[in-house]
Amino acid sequence: MSVAAYFNADENGHKSFELPGASPHYNPDRPGQVEHIALDLDFDIPKKSYRGTCTIRLNPVRNGVDSLTLDAVSLSIDAITIGNEQQSFDYDGEQLHIHLSKPTLAGQPITLAIAYAVKEPQRGIYFIAPDEHYPDKPYQVWTQGEDEDSRFWFPCFDYPGQLATSEVRVRVPKKYFALSNGELVSTEEDGKAKIYHWQLDKVHPSYLMTLAIGEYDSIENEWRGRPVRYYVAKGRKDQIELTMGKTPQMMERFSQVFGYDYPFSNYDQACPADFIFGGMENTTTTLLTDRCLLDQRAAIDNLRSETLVAHELAHQWFGDLIVINHWSHAWVKEGMATYSEVLWLEAAYGRDEAMYYHLNHARAYLAEDASRYRRPLVTHIYREPIELYDRHIYEKGSCVYHMIRQALGDQLFTKTLKTLLTDNAHSTVETVDVLRAIDKATGKNLRYLFDQYVYRGGHPDYAVSYSWDGDSNLVKLMVTQTQVADGKSQVQEGLFDLQIPIGFGYVENDTANVQTVTVRIHERQQAFYFPLQKKPDFMSFDVGNHTLKTVKLEYPLKELQAQLKYDPEPISRLYAAKAIAKKGTLEAVETLSAALINDSFWAVRAEVAEALATIQLDQAVEGLLKGLNDKHPKVRRAVVNALAGVKTAASYKALKSVVENGDESYYVEGAAVNALGKVGSSTLDNGKSKEKKTLKLLKMVLEERAGWNEVVRSGAIAGLSVFKSSEAALDLLLPYTEIGVPQALRLNAIRSLGKIAAGQSKVGCDRILDRLEAIAREEFFLTQVAVVMALGQMEVSGAVRVLQGLAEQSPDGRVKRRAEEAMGKVRKAIGADKAVDELRKDLDELKQLNRDLKSRLETLEAKAKAEKKAKEK
């Protein structure tokens, strides 16, 4: 799935992952092995309902089981039979307790037939339909089972430890197509309806069973003779190839690097409307958000759709062929699927592109670790399993797989993956199975890596200084692990014990030769001395950037300049650029300005642009502006983003030109609009205000620049949000939060309300709070998340009140958790005492309002009684 602590906060100040109410979770006792699940369903799509039968064949593991407990939420249970014999049951709306008329005998399967119905479900299965606000929305039905939502659309043992074959037989009106897992074994005409019968002969868990109903355009491809099909809403067929067309090549790549051919007989992908995740890897049948569908212009600089397709495909091996036994081991599948994005990019676009993408995985995890919480990858302490689906199991998990690959080498890495998949095919795995596969395939013991990066939280933070002793021809390298306090000396106290390659670069004829030596870094502070024949031109710490870490380089400017210009590793050049920018000198500006024009890799040029913008010199702006003509759209995007922090007439003029003239890239244009708002909301270096002119331009963009996924107009929304004291900006922004506005644009507008609230008057803040409170009542998951994000940026007690309501009433665990985290943030911002005072004041006002209303009601009642008596007389 593509979406995001259980221990007390540690001494370095990281927040705890564990929230109040978290507890240890384990799989339930297993009365037997589910062998097969069959659904036979009849849909009434306009009424958002269906009814049918769920048949479960269970092979008992022991004698004497006289009751079964299934997960079944908000279903109408009509009857339960085994053969022709009715079974009694109790149902509390969440669990179905079946009292077996005959106790089980081990090894003698029983088949339960559960007749049930569902009407207007809230989770698990979703009915999409046009309405007065969105009349063009298609009629569709789709399911989403992970983590434990299959129980909302059929009764089941809803945890990943139970694997069974499955079949789904669906009756729908003729104009619709029904897609499910496995192969389509039959299609029947039935009056005005069609019956589609799908069957999967490989075992999988209940959360990977799926159904997608709609009117689709489709294309069929193939991989080694196996069907590869794509389904999209009518009218979007031209976007299939741009978005998903490389799937067969990905299947070939993963079959080779995993050492195990694609494990199923076919592969389907469908893109339903309003899908609540990026994608979901249902066995053989992935569902992807329709927001990933590209047009020609979006395809210029969008790799996210391609990596999403790769991610979900990789799950067919890691997640579907081998299934996690418990949610606490979700990193095993999600980390590998995330790392598979890197593996695909490496094959398709080269190592530099892949390693930069990998760097941003690391950054995503590091940001969560720094700002949200720190936790180990494996933990069974939580409130709901969905809480585990964060940047730790995805991006940190990916980094762990990369470090495993580097420790083993490519050949042994593939051998390990092949061993893991072969030994555990069509069964469940835990983290220890990865270690066992490494040992079996290679004989290497990587437990040290797992102990430090998987079973505990955190990573090393290195500060590295360098000096040269010319008299002795010695390099002195001082490395400090700053994540621990002085005096800490044990790995158990937060230190890391790792082998790190150090490179010494020598430049001859404009080419660098890097000599590498590996050192063990295991103490808080260590000094290393290297006797060399001559002084190196530059020094590279962690050659290849394979270790998950942060690093602060404290090198002389001359060595950093040489590293930026000559180091063959782009990531090392990035680190050098950031260290150069911190020098803040004119020489640093000149060095970075040259790299912005000359570096061979777009990502280095892009990050050099960001680095230039941090230097408070006019010459830095001059160098930055030259990047607007870069041939690579991602560099131009980085430049306009960097210019957002430069409040000068020159930067405003440059951004205004991009906004007025547009750019071939949606993303560049959207970023320029956003940046224009940031610059135009400030007083420029010439003392002039551009507020009125900027708001006019942003209004123009909102009225005229609708397009793919609303990227450009969302830039205008973000630009408006920085006019924090402007009532005019708020007036422009609020209408785009109304229902009926295209969803992508509306969600951005809702999120922006929190940002613009910071400088608004009390009247403006009240308008924002009233709007968010109204939107919070909507049920759509993405809308609720947007509301939480907005409220978390406000500093009024009313925001706490609305967040409290979401935390208590939202059915989604992710919304609940984020609402609670946002409440803490708001309370901290306004001060706990002030928060209590304001809440008490709100409560007093509410009580007074109730008294006033009651008094008015009693007065009206008394008046009515008096009038009635008068009439009777």
Could you report the per-residue pLDDT of 252-283, keeping only the tens digit for each? 999 999 999 999 999 999 999 999 999 999 99
Angle between helices 666-680 and 711-721 (to 10 degrees): 10
8: alpha, beta or left, given left = phi > 0 and alpha = psi -120 to 50? beta
Q: What is the phi/psi pair of residue 622, to 5°?
A: -60, -45
- Lowest mean pLDDT, pick from 315-319, 460-464, 683-687, 701-705: 683-687
pLDDT band at 492 (very low <50, low <70, confident <90, very high): confident
Give bridge partners of residue 94 from the DSSP assignment.
none
* Distance (Å, whole) CA 612 – CA 615: 6
* Distance (Å, whole) CA 648 – CA 652: 6
| Residue recorded with tokens 């210019």 | 643
> What's the rounded mean pLDDT across residues 751-771?
95
Residues 324/430, Cβ–Cβ less than 8 Å: yes
Please report the pLDDT score of residue 860 as a whole number: 66
Task: Read off the DSSP letter of residue 298.
Answer: G
Please report the pLDDT score of residue 8 as a whole number: 31
Residues 594/564, Cβ–Cβ less than 8 Å: no
From the CB of residue 64, how many other CB atoms can be counted at a distance below 10 Å?
A: 9
Kindly tell me if the per-residue pLDDT of 835 is higher than 60.
no
Residues 717/745, Cβ–Cβ less than 8 Å: yes
Paired sense of beta strands 322-324 and 427-429, if any: parallel
> What's the rounded mean pLDDT across residues 424-430?
98
* Distance (Å, whole) CA 173 – CA 152: 23
Kindly tell me if the per-residue pLDDT of 668 is higher than 90.
yes
Kindly tell me if the per-residue pLDDT of 9 is higher than 50.
no
pLDDT band at 684 (very low <50, low <70, confident <90, very high): confident
H and E: helices and strands count for the chain: 26, 31
pLDDT band at 5 (very low <50, low <70, confident <90, very high): very low
Residues 30/23, Cβ–Cβ less than 8 Å: no
* Distance (Å, whole) CA 125 – CA 39: 14
The DSSP result for 623-685, as a single string, is: HHHGGGG-SSHHHHHHHHHHHTT--SHHHHHHHHHHHHH--SSHHHHHHHHHHHHHHHTSB-T
Among 843, 776, 779, 833, CA closest to 803: 776
The identity of residue 769, as a single letter, is L
* SS3 of 577-623: HHHHHHHCCHHHHHHHHHHHHHCCCHHHHHHHHHHHHCCCCHHHHHH
Kindly tell me if the per-residue pLDDT of 10 is higher than 50.
no
- Lowest mean pLDDT, pick from 82-91, 400-409, 439-448, 827-836: 827-836
Edge-to-edge, what's the strand order for the sheet holding 550-554? 525-531, 474-481, 461-469, 550-554
Edge-to-edge, what's the strand order for the sheet holding 511-521? 511-521, 498-508, 538-541
Task: Read off the DSSP letter of residue 16.
Answer: P
Cis peptide preceding 147, ω within 30 of 0:
yes
> What's the rounded mean pLDDT across residues 332-356?
98
pLDDT band at 4 (very low <50, low <70, confident <90, very high): very low
> What's the rounded mean pLDDT across residues 92-117?
98
Q: What is the token pair recorded at 170?
A: 């669906």
Kindly tell me if the per-residue pLDDT of 318 is higher than 90.
yes
CB-based contacts of 39, cutoff 8 Å, min separation 6: 52, 53, 54, 55, 154, 166, 167, 168, 169, 170, 209
Kindly tell me if the per-residue pLDDT of 869 is higher than 70.
no
Please report the pLDDT score of residue 872 as a whole number: 61
| Residue recorded with tokens 């004698």 | 63
pLDDT digits (tens, 9 = 90+) for 168-226: 999 999 999 999 999 999 999 999 999 999 999 999 999 999 999 999 999 999 999 99
Please report the pLDDT score of residue 845 as a whole number: 63
Please report the pLDDT score of residue 11 as a whole number: 35
Give bridge partners of residue 200 from the DSSP assignment.
166
Percent of the chain, pLDDT > 90?
89
Q: What is the token pair recorded at 93?
A: 């709306």
Kindly tell me if the per-residue pLDDT of 139 is higher than 50.
yes
> What's the rounded mean pLDDT across residues 10-34?
85
Among 160, 155, 158, 25, CA closest to 97: 155
Please report the pLDDT score of residue 433 as a whole number: 98
> Taking the mean position of all CA atoms in its chain, how far away is CA 116?
35
Indicate the burial class of 285 (C-beta count within 10 angstroms; 0-12, 13-18, 19 or more): buried
- Lowest mean pLDDT, pick from 341-345, 548-552, 699-703, 820-824: 820-824
The identity of residue 138, as a single letter, is P
Mean pLDDT of the chain: 94
| Residue recorded with tokens 């589609």 | 196
Please report the pLDDT score of residue 853 as a whole number: 65
Angle between helices 813-830 and 797-809 (to 10 degrees): 160
CB-based contacts of 865, cutoff 8 Å, min separation 6: none
Among 788, 9, 821, 18, CA closest to 383: 18
* Distance (Å, whole) CA 496 – CA 449: 10
